[in-house]
Structure 1
Amino acid sequence: MRITIISLLLAASATLTGYCVLVFSLFQPTRDTVPLLVCTGVLWVLFAAAVFLLRGVSGRAVVVLVLAGSLGIGVAAMVGPPNTSTDSARYAWDGIVQNAGISPYAYVPADDRLDPLRPEWLFPATVPSGTVPETCQGQRIVVTHKTASDAVLCTALNRPTVPTIYPPAAELYFAGIRFLVPPTATYWPLQLGGLVLSLGTTGLLLLGMRRRGIPQRFAAYWAWCPLVASEAITNSHVDLLGVVFTLAAALLVTRARYWRGGIALGIAIAVKLVPVIAAPAMLRRQGWKVGLAAVVTFFALYVPYVLTTGIGVLGYLPGYLSEEGYDNGKRFALVSLIAPGGAAVFVAGGLLVVIAALVLWKTDPDRPWLGQLVMIGSTLLILSPRYPWYALLLLPFVALSGRWDWLAIPLALTLRQILPSLELTWAITAALIIVLAGSAVRLDPDVRARMLAAPLRAARFLRPPR
């Protein structure tokens, strides 16, 4: 009966996932986010219920359910185009440009010299509209101008007048995906790539858990999570590729495959730089091997692009950090409460250094996932990004550690994306409270009692004498 109920919940999740993708979008002309919010909320409730019931299932049935749910929900996530992000349009364009023999860092998408490469679905033709001679139509289409001729250019790409931001491993992935399909193929190739990588991550988790005695039901925290379906598959964020290699690095290092683990970590960092925060927990034992292999791999992947483009390989990264408010401290939602303005940059940096040092010192080298969970989760809380797909990196380590309360972080970021009017500070604060409460509950009772008594002792010590 329990297996039947879980199967029904997973079927409902898959059905509702497909419905959300087909019906709701942040790109609709009349942007009513309430239906998408309700749909997302129900998906998280179904996810929580299915994971809770899985606790009573054992044996091979767990593996079958986890894989079946991962596949079913993932396929459902492919039934429509991206509905919350246009990043995959840029991925496709970078792949098309590379397969034409051009470095993706060499020209901005609006450059006139790239006109022969433009497919209609990424660069639709302009249309006349009343007194306006040329305009653009379409949910994901924006209006810009070509760099030389200043002609109107309709495009599905965001930031079409700046160079690409993505590092070389991501660019190789884009080129590989687009090499297999014609330029007319739209969003589905990257969605299919996301499905394959998502299933691969599920498989890696199940295999790694079996070998290390971790309950395999925890893999459902990744496999059935609505964030994976939405951001890894429907919207095809390349962060997923970094997740796969980061997880592989952690599993390799714990089996004393230090050089291979370092290579996997270097590839992960060369996907989107963010996975570097998972490194401290993997450096406790033979860290120099892991670090050296990662650094060499990272720079080796850059070599072909540096030879063709030079310093241009930095792309839009500096501009992006400024655009997001990381250069002046505005992006640090919690830190800005105690250190406003530019001081937030130094406080946030200091906190991250301290946490990294503690993780390196305290992590069990045979089971580094708790340290990686703390490092990645703390970074998300401190840096407070606007976009939920950055939290994809957190999910495999939620699964390996079984600390489900840390799912509050991706849920908070998801709510903030759908409801921009929601103060990010409140969303992040709520997630922090849930994480701290969950951690406190897991503490040894004696340790918890001492921690609760410490503020009382301090208050008595600081109380002025009568």
Structure 2
Amino acid sequence: MRITIIAGLLVLSAALTAFSVLAFDLFAPVRDEVQFVLVTGALWLLFGLAYWLLRRVRGKAVVALILAGSTLIGGAAMVGPPNTSTDSARYAWDGIVQNNGMSPYAFTPADDRLDSLRPDWLFPASQTTADGQEACVGERIASAHKTDSGDLLCSALNRTAVPTIYPPASEIFFAGVRFLTGPEPAYWPLQLAGLVLSVGTTVLLLVGMQRRGLDPRSAALWAWCPLVATEAITNSHVDMLGVIFVVAAAFLVSSKKVWRGGVMLGIAIGTKLIPVLAAPALLKRGGWRMITASILSFALLYLPYVLATGIGVLGYLPGYLSEEGYQDGSRFALVSLVAPGESAVIVAALILAVVALLVIVKTDQNQPWVGQLVMIGATLLVLSPRYPWYALLLLPFVALSGRWEWLLVPMALTLRLLVPSVQLTQTSIAISVIVIALVSLHRAGPGGLKRILPRSRRVRPA
């Protein structure tokens, strides 16, 4: 009966996922934020209830349910176009440009020289309005102007006036997907790739957990999570590519296969840089070998682009960091309350440096996922990005450690995206910090705090 109920909840989750993709998007001129939040909340509730029931299921049914749910919910997430982000349009364009022998670091999407490459679904023709003016029409379509001619350019991309921001592993991935499908298919190729990667991560987690004697039921914390369906598949964020390589790196290094683990980590960092947060927990065992392998693999990925573009491979990264408010401290939701302005950057850096030091010193190298969870989760809480898909990197370590309380982090970031209120963001992140701290202390048991903090040495009298 319990298995039947779980199966029913998974089917219901898939149906509600499909409904949310078709019924809601952040690009609609008029949108009901309350309904969007309620549907998203219902998805998280169904997810929590299904996982709670799974904890009492035994045997092969666990693996079957986890895989079926991962595939079913992920497939349902493909029923419509992206609804919270336009990033995948840029991914597609970067792939198209590369397959035509050009570097996305050297050319902006608005460059007149790329006119012959533009598919209609990414760059629709303008329409003439009643007053005879040319205008761009469509929910995801923005108005821009070409670099040289100044002509109106209708585009589904964001930031058409700047080169790409994405590192080389991501660019190779974009080119590979578009090489297989060509430029004409719209959003589904990257969504399908996201589904393959997400289910592949589920399989990787199940196999790795079985070999290490971990409870496989915790893999559902990744496989059924609404954030995976929404951001890895519907919106096709390339963070998903980094996730699977980071999980592989954690398994390899913890198994003393340091060189191979370092290569996997370097590729993961080459997708979006953020996976470097998984490194501190692996340093004790990985040491110089892991660092060397990571740097070499990262450098080899960049080499063809450096040869083609030179320093331009940095793309729009410096401008992006400034735009997001990380240089003046305005993006740090909680830290800015006690350290306003540029001082927030210093305070945030100090907090994360302390966390990194504790992670390096205290992490069990046979099971580094708790340290990786803390490092990544603490960074997300301190930086409080407005993009919940950054939390995809956190989820596999929630699964490996079984520490469900850290799911409050992606929930808080999702709420920030759907309801962009500073006060609400500060409240949700503060609640997350308090709950995570209390549950973590409870898990640690008596004397847990003393075991976490560095021991002080007693000074012997002379």
When the two structures are superposed, what TM-score results if normalisation uses the length of structure 1? 0.95
Are 2:34 and 1:34 equivalent residues in the alignment? yes
Q: State the match for 1:431 in structure 2.
A: 432
Cα distance in 1, alignment partners of residues 449 and 268 from structure 2: 37
Cα distance in 2, alignment partners of residues 96 and 183 from structure 1: 6
Q: State the match for 2:421 in structure 1.
A: 421
Cα distance in 1, alignment partners of residues 131 and 101 from structure 2: 41
Q: State the match for 1:440 in structure 2.
A: 441
Matches within 5 A, 1:17-96: 17-96=17-96
Are 2:261 and 1:265 equivalent residues in the alignment? no
Q: State the match for 1:456 in structure 2.
A: none
Cα distance in 2, alignment partners of residues 47 and 252 from structure 1: 30
Matches within 5 A, 1:387-406: 387-406=387-406
How far the C-alpha of 1:252 sits from its partner, in A, is: 0.6
Matches within 5 A, 1:307-346: 307-346=307-346
Q: Which amino acid aligns with 2:199?
A: L
Cα distance in 2, alignment partners of residues 228 and 112 from structure 1: 37
Cα distance in 2, alignment partners of residues 429 and 33 from structure 1: 22
Cα distance in 1, alignment partners of residues 359 and 22 from structure 2: 43
- Of the structure 1 ranges 331-340 and 70-79, higher mean CA displacement relative to structure 2 is found in 331-340
Cα distance in 2, alignment partners of residues 187 and 286 from structure 1: 39
Q: State the match for 2:245 in structure 1.
A: 245
Cα distance in 1, alignment partners of residues 447 and 49 from structure 2: 32
What is the DSSP-based 3-state SS (H/G/I as helix, E as strand, rest coil) of the residue aligned with 1:138? Answer: coil
Cα distance in 1, alignment partners of residues 215 and 269 from structure 2: 29
Matches within 5 A, 1:93-172: 93-172=93-172
Cα distance in 1, alignment partners of residues 449 and 126 from structure 2: 65
Q: State the match for 1:374 in structure 2.
A: 374
What is the DSSP-based 3-state SS (H/G/I as helix, E as strand, rest coil) of the residue aligned with 2:128? Answer: strand
**Alpha-carbon contact 2:17-2:73 (below 8 Å) kept:** yes
How far the C-alpha of 1:347 sits from its partner, in A, is: 1.3
What is the DSSP-based 3-state SS (H/G/I as helix, E as strand, rest coil) of the residue aligned with 2:217? Answer: helix
Flag the 1:248–1:41 CA change in 2: closer, same or farther, 3 A: same
What is the DSSP-based 3-state SS (H/G/I as helix, E as strand, rest coil) of the residue aligned with 2:79? Answer: coil
How far the C-alpha of 1:420 sits from its partner, in A, is: 1.2
Q: Which amino acid aligns with 1:405?
A: E
What is the DSSP-based 3-state SS (H/G/I as helix, E as strand, rest coil) of the residue aligned with 1:284? Answer: helix
How far the C-alpha of 1:132 sits from its partner, in A, is: 4.7
Q: State the match for 2:455 in structure 1.
A: none
Deviations 1:176-230 (A, max 9, x none): 0010012110000000000000001000100010001110000000000000000
What is the DSSP-based 3-state SS (H/G/I as helix, E as strand, rest coil) of the residue aligned with 1:391? Answer: helix
What is the DSSP-based 3-state SS (H/G/I as helix, E as strand, rest coil) of the residue aligned with 1:180? Answer: helix
Cα distance in 1, alignment partners of residues 215 and 27 from structure 2: 40
Flag the 1:266–1:447 CA change in 2: closer, same or farther, 3 A: closer
How far the C-alpha of 1:440 sits from its partner, in A, is: 2.0
Q: Alignment identity in percent? A: 64
Matches within 5 A, 1:279-298: 279-298=279-298
**Alpha-carbon contact 2:405-2:436 (below 8 Å) kept:** yes
What is the DSSP-based 3-state SS (H/G/I as helix, E as strand, rest coil) of the residue aligned with 1:144? Answer: strand
Deviations 1:348-383 (A, max 9, x none): 112111111110100010000000000000000111
Q: State the match for 2:195 in structure 1.
A: 195
Which segments of 5 or more consecutive residues in structure 1 lack a partner in the other structure?
A: 452-466
Flag the 1:290–1:125 CA change in 2: closer, same or farther, 3 A: same
Q: Which amino acid aligns with 1:304?
A: P
Q: State the match for 1:221 in structure 2.
A: 221
**Alpha-carbon contact 2:54-2:62 (below 8 Å) kept:** yes
Flag the 1:288–1:79 CA change in 2: closer, same or farther, 3 A: same
How far the C-alpha of 1:425 sits from its partner, in A, is: 1.6
Q: Which amino acid aligns with 1:38?
A: L
What is the DSSP-based 3-state SS (H/G/I as helix, E as strand, rest coil) of the residue aligned with 1:165? Answer: coil
Cα distance in 1, alignment partners of residues 413 and 132 from structure 2: 39
**Alpha-carbon contact 2:24-2:31 (below 8 Å) kept:** no
How far the C-alpha of 1:38 sits from its partner, in A, is: 1.1
How far the C-alpha of 1:31 sits from its partner, in A, is: 2.2
How far the C-alpha of 1:445 sits from its partner, in A, is: 3.2
Cα distance in 2, alignment partners of residues 404 and 283 from structure 1: 25
Q: State the match for 1:464 in structure 2.
A: none
How far the C-alpha of 1:428 sits from its partner, in A, is: 1.3
What is the DSSP-based 3-state SS (H/G/I as helix, E as strand, rest coil) of the residue aligned with 1:157? Answer: coil
Deviations 1:238-262 (A, max 9, x none): 0000001000000011111100000
Are 2:348 and 1:348 equivalent residues in the alignment? yes
Cα distance in 2, alignment partners of residues 446 and 338 from structure 1: 30
What is the root-mean-square deviation of aligned Cα atoms in Å? 1.3
**Alpha-carbon contact 2:253-2:286 (below 8 Å) kept:** no
Matches within 5 A, 1:296-311: 296-311=296-311
Flag the 1:447–1:307 CA change in 2: closer, same or farther, 3 A: closer
